[in-house]
Structure 1
Amino acid sequence: MTTDGGGPTATTVQADEPRWYLSRYDDHVHAFDPDQSSTAYSAALCSHTAPNTRIICTDHGTRCLACLLIHGDQLADRNGDVSWRL
């Protein structure tokens, strides 16, 4: 992954949280699994895939709606707050 200096810092992101990076394939910011750094391609929560050379380390841009919804569900499950889904 490349960087432009605008991405998240280690102090703002928990180790198991997805990383919000810009995909140059569709120019949307997606939530990528942090455990994929050793692979040539990375997959976002929404199943969007891109080679690591096309992922920019920044969270500036239009966010992927599917990634936002999936991550919101994960947060609700983790924190026990699922009442909003009813």
Structure 2
Amino acid sequence: MCKISSELAALRRPGLLVDAANHGSARYERRRDLRRMLRVAIPASPRAALEKLLPIEAALERRRQTSDKNYSFVRHVDILVALVSEARAFGRA
């Protein structure tokens, strides 16, 4: 199993976050959403996108767990939507 696959398999998040991400993934548009979320050029492949998204999500999860005042539920869901969608595309590749 590759590093990205094992990191994705190890993710454990509250049901509300997971449900919101799964629901949002139906409206995910890679070109539009990744540009907004990553604020950089769109990664060429789902693997490259996941390499950028995983550390962002990990930082958001740390903020959530520590009740950091800078935590954004909306941003966390956005990143999880992208993770779910990119992971699906990665699995098909």
Shared fold, TM over 0.5: no
TM-score by length of 2: 0.27
Higher RCO (CA < 8 A, seq sep 6+): 2
Q: Name the structure with the higher strand share.
A: 1
TM-score by length of 1: 0.29
